[in-house]
Amino acid sequence: MRKVIRKLFWAWDFDKEEKWLNEMASKGLALCAVGFCRYEFEQCKPGEYAVCLQMLENKPQHAESEKYIEFVEETGAEHVGSYLTWVYFRKKKEDGPFELLSDYASRIKHLSRIMKLLGVIGVFNLMAGCYNLFLYGIWGHAISLLGMINIVLAAFLGYGIYRLWKKCEKLKKEQQVFE
Amino acid sequence: MPGAALTEAVYYILLSLIEPMHGYGIMQNVERLSTGRVRLAAGTLYGAISTLLEKGWITALDGDSDSRKKEYQITPRGKEMLLGEISRLQELLQNGRAIMKEDAK
């Protein structure tokens, strides 16, 4: 029997998302499909699977991503689904520990990739916000409300980037000493 | 940077690819060589393989038709880098042992 849970995780909380998916797996619910704020689970033996997720450079249908997904699958993992550029894998725990990134350099690269994307969307919203606000005057026009929404969204993304940046700095500090 | 250290992952990948091997084979081989200490995750390994292919230190072999998995092998340039790294490690080890004498055997 399948179970659908609707839940929202921000992109900068992907590690919390992964932790939650692993907790579900340890309770006997293995992830089997994903969508927008939507997680579909099937029953498994408690602790049968470990789950990992990652944001790729391109969409999952892109040739580069397909090559990557195939490579990960060859190591014994199962691609359970994708949402935007995020891919989700699960692997039987009896086949050993499951991680997608095992060194500081590749973890930092992954965080930078998420920051870059959020940055692009953030800057776009900031510019659209300024344009909408100043072109139509600060008050008295519906477009200026849209402008304010753009600015608030940009600020929120800025907060997300800050959170990721903090994670990144922590890893970079470790990288000064360890590999 | 001339004389720069290779990462542990790159060192063990190059060492594994003295024999032709596919991705999962490299992961298992590195784990075996390091008696379980070094576990390369698939994403990290994939990134390292792409970079090494780009640098020409390893090459992808034309897989036979019944095997989907791509095999890789070290190139002469890769062997050169590996030998350079071995002498660098030798230096580190010699200095460490000479200075720490009794403590580090």
Q: Do residues A64 and A110 both lie within one domain? A: no
Q: Do residues A70 and A128 both lie within one domain? A: no
Distance from CA of B65 to the nearest CA of A (A): 16
Q: How many CB atoms lie within 10 A of CB A126?
A: 17
pLDDT at A142: 75
Q: What range does the domain containing A140 cover?
A: 104-177
- Mutation test of the interface with chain B: which of A58, A89, A90, A102, choosing the one with the most B Cβ atoms within 10 A? A102
How sure is the predictor about B63, in pLDDT bands with cuts at 50, 70 and 90?
low
**Interchain proximity B41–A74, CB inside 8 Å:** no
CB B12 within 8 A of CB B49: no
pLDDT in tens, A108-161: 999 999 999 999 999 999 999 988 888 776 666 777 888 889 999 999 999 999
Last residue of a domain, one of A95, A114, A143: A95
Residue B11 CA: distances (Å) to CA of A12, B7, B49: 32, 6, 12
What ipTM does this complex have?
A: 0.90
Instruction: Determine the longest span between alpha carbons in chain A, in angstroms.
Output: 63
Last residue of a domain, one of A95, A119, A143: A95
Last residue of a domain, one of A72, A95, A118: A95
> Is it true that domain B8-100 has CATH number 3.30.930.10?
no
Q: Do residues A8 and A85 both lie within one domain? A: yes
Listed by start position, the domains of chain B span 8-100
In the predicted model, is pLDDT for residue B102 greater than 90? no
Alpha helices, DSSP H only, in B7-75? 8-16, 23-33, 42-55
Amino acid identity of A176? Q
pLDDT at A146: 86
**Interchain proximity A97–B42, CB inside 8 Å:** no
pLDDT in tens, A51-82: 999 999 999 999 999 999 999 999 999 999 99
